[in-house]
Amino acid sequence: MRKAVFFLLVGLSCLNQGKSQNNPVLFQWNFDDTLKTNCPVGGLTKYVPGVIGKAIKFDGFSSYIDVVPGDVKQGSEEIKKFQLPGKISIEAWVALGAYPWNWAPVLTMGKYKITGFYFGIDSRGRVGMQLSDGTSTWHECLSKLNPETKLGLELHKWYHLVCTYDPETGMAIYINGKLESTYNGFIGKHRIVYSETEKGFRLGMNREMLAPTDAIREWATYPSRYSLDGIVDEVRVYGKCLTADEIAANYINIKPENEPQFASRKFPTVKPSGRFAANYTRLNFYPEWDALWPVGEFNDVVVQFDEFPTKIMFWRGTRYSPCLVSENGKWMADQSRESGNNWFLSQGSRDEMPTGCMEHMSDVQTRSSRVAIIESNEARVVVNWRYLQMDVRFRQNDSPENTGFGEWGNELYYIYPDGVTVRKVLPGNGGWQETIFLSEPGTRPEDNVDLAAATLVNMKGETKTYSWEKGYPKYDLPGANIQMVNFKSKFKPYLILRTGGSFSVFNGEVRPEYSHFPWWNHWPVAQISSDGRSASAPDQAAHSSLSWGDPNGDVALYGMTDKDPKSLVALARSWNFPAELKLSSKGIKNEGYDFTQRAYILTASENIKNIAFMLNGSKDSPIVNPALVIKNWNKKDIKLTIKGKPIPRGKDFRYALEYDVEGTPTTIIWIKLQAEKVVNIELL
């Protein structure tokens, strides 16, 4: 069920304002019964097992509950007369699935930082009670951080949380029955002041959007909609300041009946098909994130191989940026075309024009990013990725021609059975190569790559491995145009540039106290409005950058291998300096080698039946799994001989017939063949 705001059957026991010492509980919400109450519930809030009976789970994105005191209607005259006491305590059981992007409330009333109180959790897991005293001062009582982890509450654990306020003694925070912190920095006689009590209490989400913390560029980070990512149960508001003994007793009296239930947040995968093919599918992450997306079953694309355990994922969670995925689920990505605007606000207000990074990462809802399968046959797969370069508020530059269409990226991926992919970036604005790897929730960058994270190789076969253990290295291998990322996996990703291309280390935005690598969590998956946010914990999906590339053209080779980095030299040479193809047959034209397809292009006459040619391989121009694109040839039964030896159709010889919109045939051929000598080939 997808509804923005609805009335949920929740157990919200709203007791009348009580003055009896025997019943100091003013309000309590245990979420157990199913009495319909006048409580607007927003987003995808749902029931789950709680510490006792049921609890409410907030999804981290859209959920909240508004509760008016008593049984009167919201906005009525009765509620406007409602008054909260001068002394107050708030109690709740809470378990977190991830840390909020900024403060998120367990329970709040009033205007944030202006009036009322705020009992919540911040982006590092600190518990806080905050309130206004009617002046310009916003008072805060905060729990402590673990000096080793720099975090507060741990994830996926029940905590009994209590905050108290007394005009004389101030505020206090208790965690699991123990005093955590106190505050009494009030000045004079000013104490808590309430307003807008007719709106009632709010659970789970801020009434005013807050910008995410830890922004790389605060001027390109905006207030964002999010909620508490966690489970809340047994909430009580007391009309007194509970004593330490009472709080300890309350904690001891409840033994959680259920462990907090949070689904695994591992990156999506699919059962291996055993086929080389591209398929549309729907890739799932975890239930709360999946529920956000109004999409069908065919919005993502997965490319699999019949001879390798690796995959290529085009997933909406990465805004369809294609990712190389290893056999054990490590993800390697890259950048899209990226430009920028209004740097350091030199051009005006950030509210009046696109501001910050203009890239695919900003399209958190994939409003413009699209992926399409162009070919999927036994010889190759071709996928098209098109995206709008936008800022985090979905705005675009109208350049360079001022047509009103903005800046777009358009890319083709030619993928072959040996796992080698040609990325062809069509004309546009901005650079596009940045070596990026992902960290799924629960992992840090160091869990996914070795500290000796990258190996460079040049066309001479010289190699050098670089470590981030003592800070950023400096790439200094002359002529290096091959890079392997040293994943903690058997199959490791590589990138090959045209000769003359080069790599340089990404040398900014690292925080050594958190990671050896730059570590951000505004992408992938996240729905916040920020083009850069540093990660402080492994609670969210995140990414890190190792290097930039100067590709020397708008094309590069990608893949994964379990071989030594030096083994990539032959592939790089075969692509940069392809073996010459000489035709022996008549009625066919050699159009040359197209490195943007990694294929020899031939055009046949209509009636030609056999094609014979020679590949002039050598050490400098080796033959590595050649592909041929033969236009206007529609022979349906093709036989292959190499040096007179027949090669049966199968894993070593693959072909397919494709037709364009006008019915013109093209035959795609792929041959598993590696040689450094002349090879004679016939297609019969």
Report how far residue 371's alpha carbon sits from residue 321's, in angstroms, rounded to the nearest whole number: 9
Q: Which residues contact 338 (CB under 8 A, 6 or more apart)?
A: 357, 358, 359, 389, 430, 431, 432, 434
Query: Which tens digit of pLDDT belongs to each residue from 39-51?
Result: 678 899 999 999 9
pLDDT category of residue 77 using cuts at 50, 70 and 90: low
Query: Which tens digit of pLDDT belongs to each residue from 139-154?
Result: 999 999 999 999 999 9
Report how far residue 208's alpha carbon sits from residue 105's, in angstroms, rounded to the nearest whole number: 11
In the block, residue with structure tokens 């990322």: 485
Report how far residue 474's alpha carbon sits from residue 465's, in angstroms, rounded to the nearest whole number: 11
Does this model's pTM top 0.85? My answer is yes
Q: Which two tokens stand for residue 652?
A: 């070593």
Mean pLDDT to the nearest integer, 11-26? 54
Mean pLDDT to the nearest integer, 560-580? 98
Q: What is the pLDDT of residue 198?
A: 81
E strand spans, 467-536: 480-487, 492-496, 502-505
Distance linking the first and last C-alpha atoms of the chain: 58
Q: What is the pLDDT of residue 134?
A: 75
Let me know if 656 is exposed, middle or buried by CB neighbors in 10 A (0-12, 13-18, 19+).
Answer: middle
Q: Which residues contact 546 (CB under 8 A, 6 or more apart)?
A: 435, 436, 437, 449, 453, 454, 485, 505, 506, 517
E strand spans, 149-220: 159-166, 170-175, 178-183, 201-203
Q: What is the pLDDT of residue 22?
A: 60
Q: What is the pLDDT of residue 6?
A: 33
Q: What is the pLDDT of residue 42?
A: 85
Q: What is the pLDDT of residue 9?
A: 39
Query: Which tens digit of pLDDT belongs to each residue from 236-255?
Result: 999 999 999 999 999 999 99
Output 101 or 78, whichever has higher pLDDT: 101
In the block, residue with structure tokens 């005259």: 77
Query: Which tens digit of pLDDT belongs to each residue from 296-344?
Result: 999 999 999 999 999 999 999 999 999 999 999 999 999 999 999 998 8
Query: Which tens digit of pLDDT belongs to each residue from 398-421?
Result: 776 778 888 999 999 999 999 999
623-624 and 674-675 strand pairing = antiparallel
Q: What is the pLDDT of residue 235?
A: 97
Q: What are phi and psi of 297, to 5 degrees?
A: -90, 0
Contact 170, 141 (CB under 8 A): yes
Instruction: Indicate if the pLDDT at residue 287 is higher than 80.
Output: yes
E strand spans, 562-662: 580-583, 588-594, 599-604, 611-616, 623-624, 627-631, 640-642, 645-647, 653-659
- In three-state form (DSSP H/G/I as H, E/B as E, the rest C), the secondary structure along 609-636 is CCEEEEEECCCCCCEECCEEEEECCCCC
Nearest to 622 by CA among 567, 676, 568, 566: 676
Mean pLDDT to the nearest integer, 420-443? 97
Q: Which two tokens stand for residue 67?
A: 């509760």
**Region label for 638, one of left (φ > 0), alpha (ψ between -120 and 50) or beta (otherwise):** beta
Taking residue 23's Cβ as centre, other Cβ atoms within 10 Å add up to 12
Instruction: Indicate if the pLDDT at residue 18 is higher than 60.
Output: no
Query: In this structure, what DSSP letter does residue 143 have?
Result: P
Instruction: Indicate if the pLDDT at residue 16 is higher than 70.
Output: no
Report how far residue 278's alpha carbon sits from residue 301's, in angstroms, rounded to the nearest whole number: 7
